[in-house]
Structure formats: structure tokens, C-alpha cells
Amino acid sequence: MALNMTVPKKNGTSGYTFHHCVIDHWVVTSVVAVFIAVCLTDRKFLPYNPEAAYLYYSYHYNPEIKAEGNTRKEIKINPCIIKAACAVQKKLQWIIAQKGIAIETNPSSNALIGTFKRYDKHPILNCYNHGLEEKERGDVPQIQVSINTDDQGVFATYIENEYAYLALALEKVKDENGNPRYIRTLIYNWLDNIRKMGLVQSFEEVLED
């Protein structure tokens, strides 16, 4: 996943110029920290703002605000809205597939942040399942996907682990009769196809097998 940002750069004449760039989301925190440091060390660039300083301090150091931020609030949503959102989501998946847009997945990160807690429930199965099941579901748009780590340091994982987590989780899935739902050979072929798609998405030259 990438994020468009405009960052300041010091020049020799007019102070600061702004350069538009695309950066990975895992470095956003570092960029913001550098930006704040520039602001604090060069008052000409951004004058001191007491309201901004108060909000920054409160966000990081006020225990009452932290407690309020951790408060969970549940809101009931009309089932019609949920049904409509699911329909729009599915339609968007087909549009993405038709346009050849690739989707990055990060199993460990997604499981930690998302609403599902089991790897066999990962949304990647709703995006791409070609070759995974003997009888493919017709409602899966077969989007170009890849498996990644998100932030290897933060989530303490390796790319090998991410593939292994999905493989092991799918091997353990049972059908209504208690039999394995997925065949091991098909699982590994499915993962290998995703690996190849990931290589193409990395813009590296891919050699034919």
C-alpha cells in the first residue's frame, strides 16, 4: 500500500519547496516526525501554534484522553445498509478485477487489525481462489493479489511465515462431513500462483519457469 504525500525540502534561496512523492505507509510515522522536527527548529516555516501544541501534547500524554480513545462504542446499523454495502463491495471487486488492479494482502497484519481472527477467513479467498478448489465458486472475481508482511519489524514476521500461515490454516479447514475442504497439492499450487503474481507486481523482471 502506498500513500501520496507532499513533503518539505530546504533550498538555498526561498526557504522550502514542496515535492510530491509516493511513499509506503509504514514510513508515514517517520515522515511526520521529521516534519514536526523541521517545524520546531525553523519557526519561519511554521509559526508556533498554541492550540496545535496543546492538541499534540494531550493526544500523547493526557491519560483521560487516552482512556476516552480506548472506549468502544457500538452503533446498530440497519440490515438494509449492510446488504447494500456488501453488494457495492462485490461490484467493486469485479471492476478491480476487470481493470487488472492488484490487491496487496498482509495476513498477519490484516488478522490483527481486521474483524477476522483466523487465517482461513482471510478476504483473499473472496478475491482469488483459482485452482484452490476442485469446483470454483462463480462469485469470486479472481483479482490479482499478492501476499506480503506489511511491516516486518512491527509484526515480527517474515514473508515465508505469511505463506505458511495461510497454507496451514487451509489444510485444517473441514467441510460439513468433517473431511479436509482443500487438497494440500491444490493449496500449494494456489500459493505458488500468488507468489508469481507478486513477482509481477514488484516490477522485477520475471523469468519463465
pLDDT band of 14, cuts 50, 70, 90: very low
Is the C-alpha dihedral spanning 93, 98, 99, 103 positive or negative?
positive
Residue 79: how many other CB atoms lie within 10 Å: 8
| 125 closest CA partner among 151, 98, 101, 145 | 145
Residue 30 above 70 pLDDT? no
CA angle, residues 98, 101, 107, in degrees to nearest 5: 120
d(CA 185, CA 155): 29
pLDDT of amino acid 45: 57
Q: Do the Cβ atoms of 179 and 173 come closer than 8 Å?
A: no
pLDDT of amino acid 49: 84
Higher pLDDT, 27 or 161: 161
Tens digit of each residue's pLDDT (9 = 90 or more) over 91-123: 999 999 999 999 999 999 999 988 898 999 999
d(CA 198, CA 159): 11
pLDDT band of 204, cuts 50, 70, 90: confident
pTM: 0.64
Q: Do the Cβ atoms of 104 and 1 come closer than 8 Å?
A: yes
| In the chain, alpha helices (H) | 28-41, 50-61, 63-69, 79-99, 107-113, 124-127, 159-172, 184-201
For cell 471492476, the residue is 95
Higher pLDDT, 33 or 57: 57
CA angle, residues 24, 31, 53, in degrees to nearest 5: 140
Residue 180 above 90 pLDDT? yes
Q: Do the Cβ atoms of 93 and 141 come closer than 8 Å?
A: yes
| Residue 22, beta-bridge partner list | 4
